[in-house]
Amino acid sequence: MYKNFFRYLISAIFLLGFSVNSNADFKVGFVYVGPTGDHGWTFQHHEGRNAVEAAGIKTTFVESVPEGADAERVIRQLAQSGHDLIFTTSFGYMDPTNKVAKDFPNVKFEHATGYKREHSNVSTYSARFYEGRTLLGHIAGKMTKTNTIGYIASFPIPEVIRGINAMTLAAQKVNPNIKTKIVWVFTWYDPGKEAEAAQALIDQGADVIMQHTDSTAPVQTAEKAGVWSFGQASDMQRFAPKSILTSIIDDWAPYYVERAIAARDGTWNQQDTWHGLKEGMVAMGPYNSAMGADLVKEVEQLQKDLASGKVHSFTGPIYDQKGNILVAEGKVADDGMLAGMNVYVKGVEGDIPK
Amino acid sequence: MSLDISFIGILIGSIMASSVPLILAASGELITERSGVLNLGVEGMMIIGAISGFALMVITDNLFIAIVGSMLSGVIISLIFGFLTQSLLTNHVATGLALTIFGIGLSAMLGKNFVGIPGKEFPILFSSLRESIPFFGPILFGHSIVLYFAFALPFLTNYFLKKTKLGLVVRAVGDSPVSASNQGINVILVRYCCILYGGAMCGLAGAYLSLIYTPQWIENMTAGRGWIALALVVFATWSPIKVLIGALIFGGITILQLHMQAIGFRIPVQFLSALPYLMTIIVLVVISRDSRKIKLNTPTSLGRIFYKEK
């Protein structure tokens, strides 16, 4: 009897809370996988959040949220505490986001780099980072002396595999002898492990290091060893001024501002956004002068062609490791195929961990 | 893949570099445990050492102050543990766990303003010899002073425990504090000293990570290495030399599994990632089978609270 009474009381308080909140200011929540000071992935999302704040919209963020059960708790907490729009900014938040979205139909959710939109209040968005990887591949193919490119990979998801493939295809085009060596570290963020992986690749003869992890440890290791590297997610140049050839920069700010304003004004609708160099969601850091003027010019031209659509990162013929055709000659890979990519192209060594 | 002799030298060099924090922290904890005190706060003391060292480096721009400061910070935080367990007679296990949780939280708070600042290059010794001598060059030369200290430490510890009078005192206190006390040894004072020494070594281990190995500060950057150091002490049956062997095996297989991936061995990556833990335990269990020797090295009153009746 009393138990029930308390239950009603608690739900009444909750309902009251909600009604108060819905009248209160419009609020946007952000969930980050790393600390805002990682100078990589999370740092850039945080810059996007700052832009939303600058546009006069209230925001909150929670950093270093592990992918998994904790993520659901944090997302639910944000939804309960009156946030109207929630950005969940890592692939592993995909299922938790959809789960919470089901229970909060009035809250809008935006999940980065995922593909599940199980409820009408979930949108997904991502950037065509692979266009950046194509540029890195082109540069790496020209710069390597050992014909070995070292790649530090995080988790075997389509996003990461797409990057490996795009890079390898572009490098092969300028240097048919290229080899891509991959080390999986199974983390987005562990400087010690990332540094050890970079060192292992360098010891194995790689003279260009590329990372799909978030800390600056690999570029610092490359700088120390005197090999080339590329910044990931943000401009990491000041961490390794000699070694970094360029960085792939994620610019989420315009998208975040646009979506936050749309949600506030009631014009938000579900969508799947995939922007690239053309829209500016993917940008390139300054090119290192060590590349030489000719190569810089070449890469800048390629960057323009990728942006205009004249060149596509995945233009046929593309074969998988066994030699089966993936994309026919003269065709380009469609977005569906890119989104679900789970095989290596020919020329990549090793197997994808299952 | 090139398996030539100079490559193996480079490989051993990186393995040594990755084992340093484990050797330092485990050697410090070993002394603490040999005096009969079980301090589970290794991870917490390491992370405090990491942030203190990095912060001092940024503020003073002096690496010497940073290193000494990190050891001092380890001493200060272990003093809390010492006061609680030795003077207030709290439970060792619970207090140690609390120390770890406290250390991780405090370091995150202190470190807020130091995230994303590039570290300073730590001077390495004999870098020219490293390049000029094949194989032995990368093993023996081109390391930081802390690495040389770390590799000397297990031998010094061994000598201290076995050959010096003070070492005998520490062992006596760890084995039978009551008899030691009856002999006129100030058990509490000895244990305090051992706790503070352990704290200093853990602080230094943390500073090695944030100043030398990956020169930057990020939250939780010790990433569980303190727990591995703790386990090493037990599996090495409180023998300093076996601690060194265990740390090298752990560091070695961690690095080797990354190399095996880069080479393209067709072994599931998940299995490779678990390998360092498995191999370290197996090897240490095998080399420490002699139960008589285990008894000789095990501090019999480990973790037990001692107080002198007045």
Residue A196: its chain B contacts at CB < 8 A?
Answer: 14, 18, 254-255, 258
Paired with A332 in beta bridges are A315
Chain B residues inside the 8 Å CB shell of A186? 269-270, 273
Measure the CA–CA gap between A353 and A150, rounded to whole angstroms: 17
The answer to whether the A2-127+252-275 and A129-242+283-339 domains have the same CATH topology is yes
Within 5-44 of A, beta carbons closer than 8 Å to B belong to 35-39, 43
B11/A contact by beta carbon, under 8 A? yes
> What was the pLDDT predicted at B309?
67
**For residues A261 and A57, is the Cβ–Cβ distance under 8 A?**
yes
- Judge if ipTM > 0.85: no
Looking at chain B from residue 69 to 108, which residues have their Cβ under 8 Å from any Cβ of chain A? Answer: none
A267 CB-contact burial (10 Å; exposed 0-12 / middle 13-18 / buried 19+): exposed
Q: What Å distances lie between residue B25 and B34, B47, B71, B287, CA to CA?
A: 14, 11, 11, 21
User: Which of A37, A191, A201 is facing B262, going by the closest CB pair?
Assistant: A201
CA dist., res. B242 & res. B236, Å (int)? 5
Minimal C-alpha gap between A261 and chain B (Å)? 31
pTM, two decimals, is 0.80
Per-residue confidence at A10, pLDDT binned at 50, 70, 90?
A: low
CB A318 within 8 A of CB A326: yes
Annotated domain spans of chain B: 5-297
Nearest Cβ partner of B268 from A217, A349, A353? A353
Q: CB A220 to CB B118 under 8 A?
A: yes
Pairwise CA distance, residues A151 & A181, whole Å: 6
Alpha carbons A117 and A70: distance in angstroms, whole number: 21
Q: pLDDT band for position A18 (50/70/90)?
A: very low
| Beta-sheet pairing, A244-250 with A208-211 | unpaired
Q: What is the pLDDT of residue A203?
A: 87
Pairing mode of beta strands A244-250, A228-233: parallel
Interface contact flag, B221 A192, Cβ < 8 Å: yes
For the domain made up of A2-127+252-275, the CATH class stated in words is: alpha beta
Residue B91 has which token pair?
A: 């439970």
The topology (CATH level 3) of A129-242+283-339 is Rossmann fold (3.40.50)
Q: Give the domain ranges of chain A.
A: 2-127+252-275, 129-242+283-339
User: Is the minimum CB–CB distance between B1 and chain A shorter than 8 Å?
Assistant: yes
Local confidence band at B3 (pLDDT 50, 70, 90 cut-offs):
low
Which pLDDT score, from 0 to 100, does residue B302 have? Answer: 87
Predicted pLDDT of residue B268: 81
For the segment A262-313, what is each residue's pLDDT rounded down to a tens digit?
Answer: 999 999 999 999 999 999 999 999 999 999 999 999 999 999 999 999 999 9
Residues of A whose CB is below 8 A from B221: 191-192
Please list every residue in chain A whose beta carbon sits closer than 8 Å to the beta carbon of residue B258: 183, 185, 196-197, 200-201
Q: Which residues of A touch B10 (CB under 8 A)?
A: 203
- B216: chain A residues, CB-CB within 8 Å: 191, 215-217, 220
- What is the per-residue pLDDT for A23? 41
Higher-pLDDT residue of B278 and A59 is: A59
Beta-carbon separation of A186 and B215 below 8 A: no
Residue A266, min C-alpha distance to chain B (Å): 37
How do residues B249-277 score in pLDDT, each as one tens digit? Answer: 998 888 888 888 888 777 787 787 788 88
What is the C-alpha to C-alpha distance for residues A35 and A42, in angstroms, rounded to an integer?
7
Tell me which fold the domain B5-297 belongs to. Answer: ABC transporter involved in vitamin B12 uptake, BtuC (1.10.3470)
Rounded Cα distance between A206 and A214, Å, is 20
Q: Give the residue ranges of DSSP H helices in chain B.
A: 5-34, 42-60, 63-82, 92-110, 127-132, 136-140, 145-163, 165-175, 177-182, 187-207, 225-235, 240-263, 269-287, 291-297
